[in-house]
Amino acid sequence: AAQIHEAGRCTLVFEAYAQRFDLDCKVWRLAPHNLLHQATMAHNRLFNPGIPGDTVVLGFEPDDPALGTHVYGECSSSFAGFLKGDESAVMRSVVSWVWFRPDDASWDAGARWFRCDVIGGGEQLTPYRALPKNAKGLLEGLPPDQWMVCATGRTVKAGTKVPCSEPHTWRAVTTIKVGEAGDPYPGDAEVATITNDFCSDSVGAWLGYPTSYDYGSTFFGEAEWEAGNRRSVCWAKTQQ
């Protein structure tokens, strides 16, 4: 914490399904009378009652939240268009995107650009895989299994994500749209209920309506909702 505070700024990295955000932030130390400091300490004492009272709590402020919102919209739409995959295929793939912008010196010199790059991995797959020399159209039509996400393990959540070209016990087979662009976040419980109800039927249909089957789901919280995601992912327990 001391090193981060001394530096005065840092980059926060957030990864969600097929998406990654790198936020350049200013850093400051929260004073004990600050309500954010008090809330942070109260929350952490739920898990660590012995946390020292003089623990340093840092605050992080993105330089320009509007820039992050703009970049998300531009990069996510360009990402899907470049790969020629629909929203469902993109969310069920092992590829994701990152963005870059000028460093401080270049910005001060007048540089005003940002760049969106496709990468062969992300939260759903590490280490990264090498992409083809030209990744354009990678998810067009029925994408190859090597670019789609599966998992191996007892459950989806506890399992290790792997490309579907490798041995697996779970496959991401469909997605569900749980809201529209302007809708307020309905809450975790409502999203989970909608997701599980849909996934039960959707996975059954994908498997050909067997007498018994297992399914899983991945749904996202309020932070991802505010960033623009309105879909959950349905998983089938299968070696296909």
pLDDT band of residue 18 (cuts 50, 70, 90) is: low
151-156's contacts with Cβ under 8 Å and 24+ in sequence apart are 151/235, 155/216, 156/216, 156/217, 156/218, 156/235
Gap between the Cα atoms of 238 and 168, Å rounded: 8
The mean pLDDT value for 215-232 works out to 86
The mean pLDDT value for 9-20 works out to 76
Gap between the Cα atoms of 229 and 83, Å rounded: 18
CB 211 within 8 A of CB 8: no
| pLDDT tens by residue, 36-72 | 788 888 888 888 888 988 898 988 876 666 676 778 7
Gap between the Cα atoms of 139 and 172, Å rounded: 15
188 residue type, one letter: D
| pLDDT tens by residue, 72-95 | 788 888 999 999 999 899 999 999
Sign of the alpha-carbon torsion through 114, 140, 175, 119: negative
Q: Which residue has the higher pLDDT, 142 or 9?
A: 142
pLDDT at 203: 96
DSSP state of 123: T
Residues 6+ apart with CB under 8 A from 224: 16
Peptide bond between residue 127 and the one before it cis (omega within 30 degrees of 0): yes
Gap between the Cα atoms of 7 and 225, Å rounded: 32
Sign of the alpha-carbon torsion through 31, 37, 42, 44: negative
Bridge partner residues of 215 (DSSP):
236
- Any idea which residue has 């629909």 for tokens? 86
The pTM for the full model equals 0.70
